[in-house]
Chains A and B, each alone.
Chain A
């Protein structure tokens, strides 16, 4: 069923844990390669298919919209944070990256 909402199917790699996006043909770590679709029913069918397999886990759909540059971006802040990864410099024992709070999600 078509919806007015543009959607992407995402999940995590079972073995490695990292984030994956459904491209329409397979799974990819690049958000830019994700299939954007308004066919929620079809994506949900894929979701159920992959939840039952041993490749991807924690699958769900995320809403996306075009930003001012015409690029797809997740609508929700949580998904934007997930896409960008930690905003902190966790490799540095005394991280001084204190201004990241001013980086808009």
Chain B
């Protein structure tokens, strides 16, 4: 994985020192809140419902065991002993004190981490496939490009005051595990007919109050032209993006209002003015960055034979089946660590779990950990023959839930338990659904399912692309939850359809259960997933189940 060079290290340390003096000036009264607010936001410090919140960047979701230990230390020393993995592969701490944040950021910087550009109208932390460099279905590893984009977008002088925030995601695999079509700009690593590496660029996706699926701007841009092409896109957005109305300021609105063809024409004109070669890296620098992501030296191993007597302790087979996935190299697996134990708060991880996981990453996975946008963690290079031992160790830390991709693997935003923008709570609802469907056999029976919950229209919980999406709103002073069906975040992305009036908090879980029961009645065989049944039959039968008269 990428490691800070001297420039990165000194830059981040200087930035912390700047912030330290800004905090001192705020606390002395030399800076007013109006003056200080943009400065703290540039460093990831939000003021939430109850307290400050610090959002720390995990570039493309990839971090080391040493960095995980630093995060555990930060959780204990500066916060309340836990962190929260976000739906953009970052980690948040919910209770830091402003006076201590400069020290916290210094500790982070020592570990090669920071909170820069985790807020504000800039290019945010670039996200990517959490199985990158490991998954069997990968065509190109997107991480070198993700790292190049990180460096390009960090304090890029033209793009630090955009009309609105800008989110980029990358994937280089057959299966999209990065919700690429739901980003302002998405990149699929592809190859042309001659096998040359390049990028398909999709533009204008996003969720929030106006959900849109990105459209293809370019079927193929050679890799060496990528930065020039992105400069052109960003300049067009910077010039024409609406600054008069916050709700119409994202690039999706610009692309929608201009139309894709007109937008592309603008980008082409700008692109023609750019010196493409000057925008790309020289060969040495490109090679240097690529070298950080060279495939690990894994020796192919024979697949272990799982001994029914010895390796089928309760839960192991289900975990093996749902939480481990094929690796590029024979005899290895990509392992998903679910942060969704029954009744748990999705994405929360406590300091003792962080330390345990860091140790396990060192023992079993080359010291590397990834965060996923579905609020789980991943160990990407695990020997299949070590899986039973790893599973036992994970279980000892409450991290062996065998529900990846199942109904218990729901994602949700912090909602009205933390967030100042929220209109309803989302976490307690997630917990309640998790408990209702906690039985592993029932989860297995239901199969592939993505429930996603947002506590407001901003859709941080990705409800628009939940197979079952739940949006919490305030209605007449009470929490009310709208249910959408049929959303999906993959290559065949779709926005969920609204079903009808909202449900009171206490009614939602029963309503979800009626949808699930109807699906089990209607599916064509046990291997037809919910999404497929929904797409085959449409909304109506599920809508009937949701709103059927209650006895």
Q: Which residues of A contact B (CB under 8 A)?
A: 12, 14-19, 51-54, 57-58, 75-78, 81-82, 85-88, 90-91, 93-102, 104-105
**Chain A minimum-CB-distance residue to B352:** A93
Measured CA separation A98–B428 after assembly (Å): 6
Cα distance A105–B429 in the bound complex, in angstroms: 14
Query: Which residues of B come within 8 Å of A, CB atoms?
Result: 26-29, 32-34, 47, 49-52, 80-82, 94-99, 341-345, 348-350, 352-353, 398, 416-418, 422-425, 427-429, 431-432, 434-435, 474, 477-479, 505-506, 508
Cα A17 to Cα B418 with chains together (Å): 13
Beyond known contacts A16-B97, A77-B477, A102-B506: 6 more, CB 8 A cutoff: A12-B52, A17-B96, A95-B344, A98-B343, A98-B431, A105-B479
Residues of B with C-beta under 8 A to A19: 50
Check B348 against A93 for contact (C-beta < 8 Å): yes
Cα separation A19 to B50 with both chains bound (whole Å): 6
The reply to whether A57 and B33 form a contact with Cβ atoms under 8 Å apart is yes
Please tell me if the beta carbons of B99 and A93 are within 8 angstroms of each other in the complex.
no
Taken together as a complex, chains A and B put the C-alpha atoms of A45 and B33 apart, in Å, by: 16
Q: In the complex, A85→B477 CA distance in Å?
A: 17
Is B431 within 8 A of A97, CB to CB?
Answer: yes
Alpha-carbon distance between A100 and B435 when the two chains are bound, in angstroms? 13
B234 to chain A, nearest CB (A): 32
Contact partner, B97, options A15, A51, A75, A81, Cβ 8 Å: A15
Please, which residue of chain B has its CB at the minimum distance from the CB of A54?
B29
CA separation between A30 and B28, bound complex, in Å?
Answer: 26
Chain B residues, CB < 8 A from A88: 345, 417, 427-428, 431
Task: From the candidates B26, B82, B505, name the one contacting A14 in the complex (CB within 8 A).
Answer: B26
Interface of B is mostly: mixed
Q: Which residues of B lie under 8 Å from residue A78 when comparing CB positions?
A: 49, 416, 422-423, 474
- By the criterion CB–CB under 8 Å, are B435 and A93 in contact? no
Please name all residues of chain A whose beta carbon is closer than 8 Å to the beta carbon of B477 when the two chains form the complex.
Answer: 75-77
Contact B33 A58 (CB under 8 A): yes
Residue of A nearest to B99 (CB): A15
Q: CA A105 – CA B424 in complex, angstroms?
A: 10
Closest to B101 in A: A17
Closest 6 CB pairs of A and B: A17-B51, A54-B29, A101-B428, A17-B52, A98-B431, A86-B417
A75 shortest CB reach to chain B, Å: 8
User: Which residue among A12, A87, A93, A97 has the maximum number of chain B CB atoms within 10 Å of its CB?
Assistant: A93
- Are B343 and A96 interface neighbours, CB within 8 A? yes
Q: Which residues of B contact A85 (CB under 8 A)?
A: 50
Q: A12 and B479: CB pair below 8 A?
A: no
- A94 and B341 within 8 A (CB): yes
- CB distance B32 to A90 under 8 Å? no
Residues of A within 8 A of B434 (CB): 98
Known: A54-B29, A102-B505. A87 touches B435 (CB 8 A): no
Q: How far is the CA of A75 from the CA of B477 in the complex (A)?
A: 8
The reply to whether B343 and A95 contact each other, CB–CB distance below 8 Å, is yes
20 residue pairs from A and B, CB less than 8 Å apart? A12-B51, A14-B33, A17-B51, A17-B98, A18-B51, A51-B34, A54-B28, A76-B477, A77-B424, A81-B49, A81-B417, A86-B50, A88-B431, A90-B94, A93-B341, A98-B434, A98-B435, A100-B425, A104-B478, A105-B416
Are the C-beta atoms of B343 and A54 separated by less than 8 Å? no
